[in-house]
Structure formats: structure tokens, C-alpha cells
Amino acid sequence: QEAAKYEKKVMVLDFVTPTPLGNSWGLGGTCVNVGCIPKKLMHQAALLGQALQDSRKFGWQFTEEVKHNWMTMAESVQNYIGSLNWGYRVALREKNVTYENAYGEFVGPHTIKATNKRGVEKLYTAERFLIATGERPRYLGIPGDKEYCISSDDLFSLPYCPGKTLVVGASYVALECAGFLAGLGLDVTVMVRSILLRGFDQDIANKIGEYMEEHGINFIRQFVPIKVEQVEKGTPGRLRVIAKSTKGNQIIEGEYNTVLLAIGRDACTRKIGLDKVGVKINEKTGKIPVNDEEQTNVPYIYAVGDILQDKLELTPLAIQAGRLLVQRLYAGATSKCDYVNVPTTVFTPLEYGACGYSEEAAVEKFGEKNIEVYHSHFWPLEWTVPSRDNNKCYAKIICNIQDNERVIGFHVLGPNAGEVTQGFAAAMKCGLTKEQLDSTIGIHPVCAEV
């Protein structure tokens, strides 16, 4: 859409390869269809359940048993996503962007082959190409994984309540899904190979894990599944999971209604003909190395989003990078995308907002002697009356001593963490220091004043 503003002839090729269970979706990519949007809405459903419990202490009286209906929620979420899909189609049409629901692969210089779902092939040529194919969930490669397990690509449109669920993985996807499923009243177990939230601040990651365990989510640590068997068909059916210790030969097994795999995602770069045009990828990860202008080693081919090597995997970041790229190419702009001061939020039951460096990354880059960490626990006022979770919320900033105690890392664990983090991210872009932070008057009584 940005390129179309500059009266360029633009085509979008968008195609969803169905999941092993046969699920696919409309225009808008992962975030809209099987990522941030449905995840946040289901997280909200879980928060409403907690609010109902809290409300009694605030004087609300209701006697009937409160139940959650999965199908009502799933249908409402899918209806909203459908409206977004339609909105994107309309927006492309209004901006005269050609849209093809077809799978694109390079076949030669400046040439791409598009195959639609009926197998009809067309060839197109272009002056420049932008790859933004994203990633798809990884499978374990064990007996029964693709036959019986689901991924986040299946969960949000699941036509039945998943029941007792085993979530395999410790990624933010794993912990967010485990969190809202437990919040909806389901029996949830998380099987973790090693650490929680790799790449995020580990101090915070461990606090998230502790909070989830205290709120009834079971954790099986240092085990990996080696086989999944179907015990009984159904919606949901029953599955037996056999797992092996990562520390020795111990074998355990358990029965669940649903097994959700969230062990990571693989870049969709290996089957789009990049070898035909000479685009280099990281052979191990499939990620594409680019320069600071999102350009691959082939000058007319660019890439943005989750497929980039050593970059954060976030939708708004990909959108920003794409817009800035087009403005540099066609509007004479020079601004490049900032990949460091990027705010993000993990929507676990206790939300985690972050911007800038984790404590580990700051120590590695600037040295332990050159950073100062300020931190504090807090208790949201709204939680005091129901008298729950005292001292579980937490905030910390990481400052660079050598640079006037400039804030280089911001981390907050608590309600509405995303809303809190967004404003601080803007301040960090302006070079926020500890002194400036201390001289800012807090709004009372809110979590952000901590």
C-alpha cells in the first residue's frame, strides 16, 4: 500500500499452505489470523474470568455458576478476524494493488511463478521484490506429532473446547496459550525442555513461570515428548504422550485431550526459489541476512519481518521496516528502521512489557560495571480489595552509567503492561535518562507510576 502511494505498479502474492490438520485462513498474515489478534482476545476472555472472581469483593452478587463456552468465544473471534480479512482486501483494491491468492516462487532473474490453489501457474516480472513470507510452527519430528497434535495455527479456530491440554514449549506463544487456556478453567500442563522465554530477560521470565505455577498451571521441566499416541477419537479425543528426560533416560507418560506444540517457528524461505536467484540464507535457520536497508545480497530483492536474521519477530516492526524501505526507494527518504528500541508485550496471565536491552544483553554489550539496574515490586490498587497476588508485579530499568545513566532497558510485569510500555518506549527513543525519569511526576494511583 505504501508503494502504491507513489504510483508504483504493485502486486501482492499471499498464500497459506494448510496445516497438517487442514486449516488455512484469509489475507492479513499470522498476526491477524493466528497470532496477536486472536491471542489477545482469548487472553481478554481469561482476564474477564478473573474480573468476575474479583467482583464479589467489590460487592457484585451473583449466585449462578459461571461457565465458559469455548464455541461462543471462538466464533466471535473468527467473525472479527473475518471482518479484518475483508478490510485488507478492500484497502488493497482501493489503492490499486493487484492481489493474487497464489504461492510465489522465484524461477529466474526478476521473474516469479505464482501457483493458485487450483494449480494454475502464471509468470510475473518485477523491477523489485519484497519477501515477507514469515514463519510457521515447527513440529517435533516424532511419531504422532502431525497426526494428533495441534499448533497455534489450529488453536484459535478449534471447533471444540480443547479440554485437558499439554503445551509443549517455553516460547512466548507456549506461555501465552497455556495462560489463557488455564484462565478459561482448563487443566493445563507445560512441558519445558530448558529455559522459559529464551531471548527475553531471564529474571522476568522466571517470575512469569512462578506466577503461572502459583495459579494452577503444571510445569514438567527438562522433558521432551518422544511419541504421541491416540487413545480415543473425539472432539476432543484422548492422547497419550510419552516423554524422555533431557538429563538422563527417565521416561514418563501422561494422558491429555489436546497436545499443543509451541516449540518455535521456521522461516518460510526454503521453498520459494531463492536458490534460483542467488539469495543467500542461513542454512541452519532459513533466515535471510540483510544490510541495514533490508536489502539481501541480490540488490533488487529485499526482505522484512520474521524471516530476517538476528532481528526481533514482531508485526509492527515488519510494517515499519517495510514502510521506511519504500520511502527510501521512492520518496527520497533516508530513515532506517531501529531494531533496538522496540517495545513488545508478552500476554501471559501476568503481562510482561519490555523495550530495549534485557539485563543479560546489556551486560554482554556494555559490561557489568557499566550498567546500573533499578527495580521494584508493586501491588496494583485493583488487586488490594480482592486481596490477591501481593508483590507479584515488578518493574526494572537498566541504565548505561557511561552515558549519563541513559535508560537502555525497560521491563514491567503487571496488568496492562503493553499500555504502560508504549509511552516509555517513546521516551527511550528521545534518550530518556534515570534523572529525567525520577523528575517525572507519577499519576496516582496507577501501575505506571512505579
Catalytic residue positions?
444
Do the beta carbons of residue 11 and residue 55 sit within 8 Å? no
Name the nearest CA neighbour of 35 among 341, 321, 344, 414. Answer: 344
Number of CB atoms found within 10 A of residue 59's CB: 7
* Cis amide prior to 137 (ω within 30 degrees): no
Neighbour-count burial for 138-151, b at 16+ CB within 10 Å, e otherwise:
bebebebbbebbbb
Alpha helices in 251-378 (DSSP H): 274-277, 315-330, 359-366
As a whole number of angstroms, the distance between CA 301 and CA 130 comes to 6
Cell 473425539 locates to 234
Name the nearest CA neighbour of 204 among 311, 313, 350. Answer: 350
As a whole number of angstroms, the distance between CA 231 and CA 382 comes to 45
Name the nearest CA neighbour of 240 among 151, 147, 155. Answer: 147
What does the longest C-alpha to C-alpha distance in the chain come to?
A: 69
Q: State whether residue 358 is helix, strand or coil.
A: coil
As a whole number of angstroms, the distance between CA 296 and CA 313 comes to 18
As a residue count, the chain comes to 450
Q: State whether residue 55 is helix, strand or coil.
A: helix
Name the nearest CA neighbour of 50 among 391, 383, 384. Answer: 383
Name the nearest CA neighbour of 37 among 89, 81, 83. Answer: 81
